[in-house]
Amino acid sequence: MRILCVMITVFTVLLSGNVTAGELSYTCKVAHLYALSANGALESSGFEKQMKGGSFSVSRVTGEIIGEVVPTALAQSTRVVNEGSSENSFKAVADFGGQYQVLEVQEYQSGAIKPFIALSMGGAGIVTGTCQ
């Protein structure tokens, strides 16, 4: 009986670790990159060929982004503006000292896959895709 209790406890801890990982971060895949043209229209970015299909992870606790696209390693600070819910988007901001990056993940969308949009001022431009 004691061995069964220990096995159940270990199994529960292992399962809860998998659930917590999803609650602490998003893993995102880039679908499109856009730039603002001289006439104010959005057009395909010059970075699209090299970054499309790229990925990154974002901390739902700190707003830090690690990966190939829109990383925040050089940011002076990152913060979560809104944690996201069934009614609101997750929003994070990175301050690069005069330049900012904003990420929105539409947490309120149904299903496990959530659309995102990132605006990197002075960087990649407008980046869209999906997160899990």
Span 53-99, pLDDT tens digits:
899 999 999 999 999 899 999 999 999 999 999 999 999 999 999 89
Characterize 54-65 residue by residue with b for buried, 16 or more Cβ atoms within 10 angstroms of its Cβ, and e for exposed: bebebbbeebbb
User: Which pTM value belongs to this model?
Assistant: 0.79
Specify if 19 maps to a domain: no
Average pLDDT score over residue span 26-38: 94
Q: Is residue 84 part of a domain?
A: yes
The model's pLDDT over 103-119, given as tens digits with 9 standing for 90+, comes to 999 999 999 999 999 99
Q: Do 37 and 46 contact (CB within 8 A), yes or no?
A: no
Domain assignment present for 8: no
The predicted pLDDT at position 48 comes to: 80
% of residues, the chain, pLDDT over 70:
83
Does 16 reside within a domain?
A: no
Q: Is residue 52 part of a domain?
A: yes
What is the tally of structural domains in the chain?
1
CB atoms within 10 A of CB 92: 26
The values of phi and psi at residue 53, to 5°, are: 90, -10
pLDDT, residue 45, reads 86
Does residue 40 belong to any structural domain of this protein?
Answer: yes
Closest CA to 84 of 120, 116, 121: 116
pLDDT digits (tens, 9 = 90+) for 7-28: 333 333 333 333 333 589 999 9
Q: Is residue 119 part of a domain?
A: yes
Tell me which residue range forms the domain holding 114: 24-131
Residue 100, domain member (yes or no): yes
